[in-house]
Amino acid sequence: MTINLHTNENPYIPGNDIQKAAQKGLGKINRYSELKDLIELKELLGKYNNVPIDRIVLSHGSDLLIREIINIFSKDRKIIMVSPSFFPVAKYALNQARKLTRIQISTPDFKLDPYLLLNELNEPTLLIIDNPNNPTGKILMDDSLAEKILQNKNTLLLADEAYYEFSGQTFASMITKYSNLAITRTMDKAFSLAGLRLGYLLMGDYYKEHFSNFPTNLSTPTLFAAIEALKKPEYMTANVDKILNEKIRVEKELLKTGIEVFSGSTNFILIKSKNSDFARKLMDSGILIKDLSDEWLGGFYRISIGLPDENDALLSIINNN
């Protein structure tokens, strides 16, 4: 059996209540989602994030929201992103943007130089940042840097907080204060709903006009499961705790093998191995991890935290090689 540790999913399947809610949605798949259910989900998300519901946009996956923001708000702006990161940039968005600037973060600490970033905000800019960053797991921006950026009215900040529940770092409390702030979130990771793809946007005033008529196309299984999940989020926090504890254990064990571990704030670990066959050997044993050398630096791998016995299997193979 294959063990998937390459896509940063949550290894814990949600409880029966949530699965039953999704099944209830299946019983209604000949119908479009009802407005009252969509409003209920927004209210629950509003309560969960302490954000008014008119600042929330729902979508199947946050990638669509990020694409939409790039496509709409990049016109005549400079787009700034961090490298490495895995955001989609549509070619025509680049055609209408003034330019695309990537700021590379590098070993050993993968820090984003705040002065370098602030110096780049000298023209209308759309700054897109994943916080924490994928694949390094590092929190690149704290509240203080975010506020400095947001005080520059020429800059739009889009922070992707896909791993918020693991990192605890969010700018959600600034959403009513700064019109130029937008945040994307997902229930794929901490809430264990990757297969249902529920993403959402928290937005400042500047974005509201465009998104006022954004079509909300959620499937009924997604909608009902998300509502149920948010009614009892305790399962999510318990799973996040379990994953973070496992992460500490796996990191310690990996360090013992001489592998370089870059500690982060997510449900995955970035490592560097001097063994060029590292991912291949694990794959031969049925364990999939993300080999980053295809698109980034040679020797770097990203490993998602799995169930304890899956992590044991991983460590056992590494120890025996």
User: Which of 44, 51, 97, 270 is the binder for another protein (CB under 8 A)?
Assistant: 97
Which residue carries 């409880």 as its tokens? 15
Tell me if 187 sits within 8 A of 201, measured CB to CB.
no
User: Which of 76, 295, 316, 321 is the binder for another protein (CB under 8 A)?
Assistant: 295
Does 88 contact another protein by CB under 8 A?
no
Q: Which of residues 269-288 bind another protein (CB under 8 A)?
A: 274
Does 256 contact another protein by CB under 8 A?
no
Counting every residue, how long is the chain? 321
User: Which of 15, 52, 195, 298 is the binder for another protein (CB under 8 A)?
Assistant: 298
Per CB under 8 A, the segment of 124-132, 169-177, 226-234, 290-298 that binds another protein is 290-298
Does 174 contact another protein by CB under 8 A?
no
Does 84 contact another protein by CB under 8 A?
yes
Residue type, 242: K
Question: Is the Cβ of residue 97 or residue 182 nearer to another protein in the bound state?
Answer: 97
Helix 35-49 to helix 220-231 angle, to the nearest 10 degrees? 40
Helix (H, G, I), strand (E, B) or coil at 127: strand
The b/e string for 131-166 (b: 16+ C-beta within 10 A; e otherwise) is bbbbbbbbbbbeeeebeebbebeebbbbbbbbbbbb
Note the maximum CA span of the chain. 58
User: Which of 50, 83, 237, 319 is the binder for another protein (CB under 8 A)?
Assistant: 83
Does 261 contact another protein by CB under 8 A?
no
Does 148 contact another protein by CB under 8 A?
no
- What is the nearest approach in angstroms of another protein to the Cβ of residue 104? 5
Per CB under 8 A, the segment of 22-30, 106-114, 155-163, 241-249 that binds another protein is 106-114
Does 104 contact another protein by CB under 8 A?
yes
Question: Is the Cβ of residue 67 or residue 98 nearer to another protein in the bound state?
Answer: 98
How many CA atoms lie within 13 Å of 143's alpha carbon, on the beta-carbon side? 9
300-304 and 199-203 beta bridge pairing: unpaired
Tell me if 199 sits within 8 A of 59, measured CB to CB.
yes
- What is the nearest approach in angstroms of another protein to the Cβ of residue 100? 5
Q: Which of residues 215-244 bind another protein (CB under 8 A)?
A: none
- Count the neighbouring beta carbons within 10 Å of the beta carbon of residue 244: 15
The pair phi, psi for residue 42, each rounded to 5°, is -60, -40
Dihedral sign for Cα 168, 136, 140, 263, please: positive
Does 99 contact another protein by CB under 8 A?
yes
Does 20 contact another protein by CB under 8 A?
no
Does 100 contact another protein by CB under 8 A?
yes
Does 98 contact another protein by CB under 8 A?
yes
Residue type, 122: N
- What is the nearest approach in angstroms of another protein to the Cβ of residue 167? 24
**The two three-digit tokens of residue 85, written as one number:** 């990161």
Helix (H, G, I), strand (E, B) or coil at 66: helix
Does 102 contact another protein by CB under 8 A?
yes
Question: Is the Cβ of residue 26 or residue 297 nearer to another protein in the bound state?
Answer: 297
Give the CA distances from residue 222 to residues 101, 162, 189, in Å, rounded to whole numbers and listed in that order. 36, 17, 14
User: Which of 38, 53, 64, 94 is the binder for another protein (CB under 8 A)?
Assistant: 94
List residues near another protein by CB under 8 A.
Answer: 83-84, 94, 97-104, 106-107, 113, 116, 120, 274, 295-298
